[in-house]
Amino acid sequence: MKIGLTYVKGALPGYENFGHLPTDIVKTNGLVNGNKANEELDALIIPGGSIVESEGIPKDSELSKEIIKMAKEGKTIMSICSGFQLLANQTDVGRKSQMPIIKKGLGILDVNFSPLISNDRVEGEVVGNSFFTKNIKTPITGFHCHTYGKIEGNAKEILYSNIKRVNYSNKNKRILSGVVNDDGNVIGTLIHKSLDNNTDVVNNILEYIDASQEDIKSIYERNIEFNKKINKEIGIDTDVDIRIPGKNCLTKDLKKREGKMPTVVLMASTGSDSGKTFITTGIAGVFREKGLKVGLLKVGPDIRDIVPGLYLTKGYMENYGSIQISNLGWMELSNILKRLKNSNYDVVLIEGVMSAFTGLLNKKIPYSTAEIAKAGNIPMILTTGVNKGGIESAAIDISSHAKKLKDFGINIKAIILNKIYDMGIFNEVKPYIQKETGIDNVIGIPKVKIEARGGTPEVEIKLEDFAFKAYETINNNFDIRIISDIKEKPKFDRYLSFDEIINIYNK
């Protein structure tokens, strides 16, 4: 038996394991082993990502035709998040747009999507019968990670999720998160890891496609080969192969030893729109291309920010992918560090939230990136964007941030000025930053052209364009020895008290 997974631009084939069911990749030509997907496959999984925004499966493509044939002929199709949106009638991707921006789907599932942001871990309540939910009495656990999560339409409802945050506000809301078509062979859900976390769902799927024990054994064996195949390159169809690390290469010292902590670095900034996501994504891609296993975490709840990096690395969204600050996020730092020690990651990049100091003076502890870095003894790379006030003011701003971070005992390994429009001016301010901060590694990253809509996870991101541009830019402008030379390892100590924070802040 063969279970395909769509391997197209904007898709996230490594973001979850899909119950270890995928056996074959399916590209936009709609072929599997030289044959039409409809003839070759017993089932198809369409994963999340930015498939709709990226138009990774164009409506007139051979793959679209094969998907429609499979649906009409009763073949099993499971779609998740962006894959779900592909099968819908349409998706309004006009987040932060005065007018709706409509992307047409294939119309297999009779629903429409519009903006609603949620990044919660969830328990999906089963409200309708389907091959996916058959005989399941307990909640289907997983997580949401979407920008366009409002579902309206006439398809049969099978799942609802109770979410705690909606569009960045603490607000409990019960939302539709799963439907099935009239014929019962096509489902769509917003719940990521619904297969990984729920063996009953996987068993239901295997039963529905009439898999024998021999078939099941073959599926799991072929899934191992499937994962090897998708991990031969960074991203999708980039032609950038993942190397096997050599004994004498720059990255050899980063290979993790069993039971030891990986190298961890926190990417912080002077504020939003500084380029944290772009730089984190690029560094992740560079290290993965060199054969290292790269983990990505986010301070706070908005895990969408690390998705571009996971697109390049084919990385897994861990249950500890979001570092808790106050009541926001998934897991507390000390528990995450324990898990990292037992992980297989060589390098872990943590993306901060907003400015390193945003939330610092909130009496909730911890509530800022700086507190996370301090409590975990995590070295930092500090960045700022020069697009708002110019290079000169950015140099003063980041120097002030760096000095105050050092007052808190945070070890800054490098300073990055991002979106540089004039390298001559950067070279003039570089000595000032070095003198003011005592930090030698001051780097200028040139401004790159990215579409205004599609340049951030917040607004209509096209993963393949954003992520690969980040990889190219960092590969050409960032010395990875800044990270490979890091010797100290994170170790959780404690969070500073509010009084301690105030005293250092006013120092």
Residue 354, pLDDT > 90, answer yes
CATH of domain 3-230: 3.40.50.880
Confidence of residue 451 (pLDDT cuts 50, 70, 90): low
CA distance 500 to 119: 32
Confidence of residue 95 (pLDDT cuts 50, 70, 90): confident
Distance of CA 488 to the CA centre of its chain: 26
Query: Which pLDDT score, from 0 to 100, does residue 247 have?
Result: 57
Q: Is 486 helix (H, G, I), strand (E, B) or coil?
A: coil
CA distance 62 to 42: 18
Query: Which pLDDT score, from 0 to 100, does residue 169 have?
Result: 87
Query: Which pLDDT score, from 0 to 100, does residue 453 have?
Result: 43
Residue 41, pLDDT > 60, answer yes
CA distance 190 to 196: 14
Query: Which pLDDT score, from 0 to 100, does residue 258 have?
Result: 78
Answer left, alpha or beta for residue 428, where phi above 0 means left and psi between -120 and 50 means alpha.
Answer: alpha
Confidence of residue 455 (pLDDT cuts 50, 70, 90): low
| Stretch 361-368: mean pLDDT | 97
Strands 90-92 and 140-143, how do they pair?
unpaired
Whether the upstream peptide bond of residue 366 has omega within 30° of 0, thus cis, is yes
Give the helix ranges, DSSP H, for 132-246. 199-208, 213-230
The size of the chain, in residues, is 507
Q: What is the DSSP letter of 136?
A: -
Q: Which pLDDT tens digit goes with each residue over 332-346?
A: 999 999 999 999 999
Extents of the domains making up the chain: 3-230, 256-505
Mean pLDDT of the chain: 95
Confidence of residue 462 (pLDDT cuts 50, 70, 90): confident
CATH topology assigned to domain 256-505? Rossmann fold (3.40.50)
CB distance 29 to 9 below 8 Å: no
Residue 227, pLDDT > 80, answer yes
What predicted TM-score, i.e. pTM, was given to this entire model?
A: 0.95
CA angle 157, 117, 343 (to 5 degrees): 95
Confidence of residue 460 (pLDDT cuts 50, 70, 90): low
Please indicate whether the domains covering 3-230 and 256-505 agree at the CATH topology level: yes
Contact partners, residue 64, CB within 8 Å, separation at least 6: 30, 57, 58, 106
Percentage of the chain lying above the pLDDT 70 cut:
96
Q: Which of 270-274, 376-380, 403-407 has the lowest mean pLDDT?
A: 270-274
Query: Which pLDDT score, from 0 to 100, does residue 370 have?
Result: 99
On the 0-12 / 13-18 / 19+ scale of CB atoms within 10 A, 217 is exposed
Q: Which pLDDT tens digit goes with each residue over 44-57?
A: 999 999 999 999 99
Residue 29, CA distances (Å) to 23, 79, 336 in order: 17, 19, 41
